[in-house]
Amino acid sequence: MKNDLRERREREGKSQADLAAAVDVTRQSINAIERGRYDPSLELAFKLARHYNCTIEDIFEPSLDD
């Protein structure tokens, strides 16, 4: 699944650790999501969307080729 989490986080001027603390996960989780190695749970996707005041679809784009 593609996402623009890194771009959003960097525009905000936050580190991965800052974002992780804001949504109550580890920095490693944020890193894995940003690199496309981990798809977040629905709960985490909602937390991220709420944090950025947007929809889940604004952050994440499913890979429909799979």
Domains identified in the chain and CATH numbers: 2-53 (1.10.260.40)
Interatomic CA distance for residues 18 and 53, integer angstroms: 17
Tokens describing residue 18: 């800052």
- In this predicted model, what pLDDT tens digit does every residue of 36-50 receive, in sequence order? 999 999 999 999 999
Interatomic CA distance for residues 42 and 46, integer angstroms: 6
Answer for the pair 31, 38: CB distance below 8 angstroms, yes or no.
no
Whole-Å CA distances, 50 to 9, 18, 37, 59: 13, 15, 22, 11
pTM above 0.85, yes or no: yes
- In this predicted model, what pLDDT tens digit does every residue of 3-25 receive, in sequence order? 999 999 999 999 999 999 999 99
Answer for the pair 19, 51: CB distance below 8 angstroms, yes or no.
yes
